[in-house]
Amino acid sequence: MIVEIEKLTKIYESRLRVVALDGIDLELKEGEIFGLLGPNGAGKTTTISVATTRTLPTSGTVRIAGIDVVKHPAHARRLIGVVPQFNTLDRSLTVYENLYFHCRYFGFSHSHARARSLELLDQFLLSERGKMYPNQLSGGLAQRVQIARAIAHRPPVLFLDEPSAGLDPQSRMAMWDAVAALRKEGITVLLTTHYMEEADQLSDRLAIIDYGRVLALGSPEKLKATFGAHTVFNLKLRSMEGLAVMVEELKSREDVSGVETTADGLRVIGTGADGLLPDLVRAATGHGLRDLTITEPSLETVFIQLTGRELRE
């Protein structure tokens, strides 16, 4: 296993005790793209921070290619590339120089660093922007330069923290293509995201985490098959009176696997929509149904199933 995360905990002790990581166990296979999916504050970024030597864990270990990142941070940094959430390109250097000096930091000779930088500019379709400065780049382009820079020293593992945060849809697609292309180079990728589509599209396997714990682990298909072959109906009701009767009725149905009351209505988790939908509408009309949303089976429904919450709540 190229990345081994074992019983990782991180507790911030200040006025408020915050348990950011509550025993995370993960193993990444060589060459896979692994997604960490969870809402903001779930512990995704903390996991990456520990693995990339920027945060010291309270307990537990992270090993990259067998190297303990806490004991040997400088060595571990040679084995990883990191694309943080925010733009950390060197504002005083051009795009080309950002790549070139990154290579020099990692021990490349002048000619070797130059060749590698030119190759990366080409690979990431940045050749025409080599002389530009980072503050002249759009968000999408800057993100591409960051990815190019992160893999410049040919690390076996790449960490991408919320790579599409703040990107417009078009740049997001381009970024996805760039990440998918890394597969060819055999780089293992760990990416965090709170976009289901992104986790679904890109990852070979993913872990759903919340409150610093891994809730489920597997390929997107497997997760959907195990937890999420369900459709989620969110009903907003005017009146919550006598709702218990309706809940009991629904629970007794075969095509309903779960019913929960929410702040302003009901959440019904069903195994199919065909027969259920008309019955739901009929039953809910008596309670003043004012809105109904249906979420088709997806990682979103997996997440709702696992946590009782929506990802973007």
Partner 1 sequence: MESTSLNSKIFIQSFFGLLLRDLRVLTREFHVFLARVGMQPLLFLFVFTFIMPRMGGANPMAGGAGGLDFGTVLLPGLMAVAIMFSGIAAVALPLSQEFGITREIDDRVMCPLPLWAVALEKVSFSALQSMIAALLVIPMAYYIPAVPVRADVHNWFLFALVLVMASYLAGSLGLVIGSTVNPRQIGLVFSILVVPITFLGCVYYPWAMLDKIRWLQFGVLFNPIVYMSEGLRAAVTPGIAHMPWWAILVALVFFTAALGRLGLKGFLGRVLS
CB 240 within 8 A of CB 286: no
Q: Which stretch binds partner 1 (CB under 8 A): 88-96, 171-179, 219-227, 288-296?
A: 88-96
Q: Which of 25, 58, 101, 139 binds partner 1 (CB under 8 A)?
A: 101
Number of C-beta neighbours around residue 25 at 10 A: 14
Distances (CA, A) of 43 to 4, 46, 56, 86, 112: 17, 5, 14, 17, 38
Q: Determine the residue type at 110.
A: H
Q: Determine the residue type at 289.
A: L
Nearer to partner 1, 142 or 246 (CB): 142
Q: Determine the residue type at 291.
A: D
In angstroms, give the least distance from the CB of 250 to partner 1.
47
Q: Does 105 bind partner 1 (CB under 8 A)?
A: yes
* Cα torsion through 208, 213, 218, 220, rounded to 10: 0
Q: Contacts with partner 1: how many residues (CB under 8 A)?
A: 29
Residue with tokens 């009146």: 239
Angle at the Cα of 241 from the Cα atoms of 255 and 266, rounded to 5 degrees: 35
Q: Does 187 bind partner 1 (CB under 8 A)?
A: no
Residue with tokens 């296979």: 29
Q: Does 49 bind partner 1 (CB under 8 A)?
A: yes
Nearer to partner 1, 102 or 230 (CB): 102
Q: Does 111 bind partner 1 (CB under 8 A)?
A: no
Residue with tokens 């864990």: 57
In angstroms, give the least distance from the CB of 238 to partner 1.
47
Q: Which stretch binds partner 1 (CB under 8 A): 80-88, 196-204, 252-260, 276-284?
A: 80-88
Of the candidates 225, 219, 221, 267, the residue with the CA atom closest to the CA atom of residue 243: 267
Q: Does 90 bind partner 1 (CB under 8 A)?
A: yes
The residues facing 191 across adjacent strands are 35, 160
Binding mask 146-165 for partner 1 (x = CB under 8 A): ---x----------------
Q: Which stretch binds partner 1 (CB under 8 A): 84-92, 249-257, 263-271, 283-291?
A: 84-92
Which stretches of the chain bind partner 1, using CB under 8 A?
Answer: 49, 52-56, 73-75, 77-78, 82, 84, 86, 88-93, 97-98, 101-102, 104-107, 149
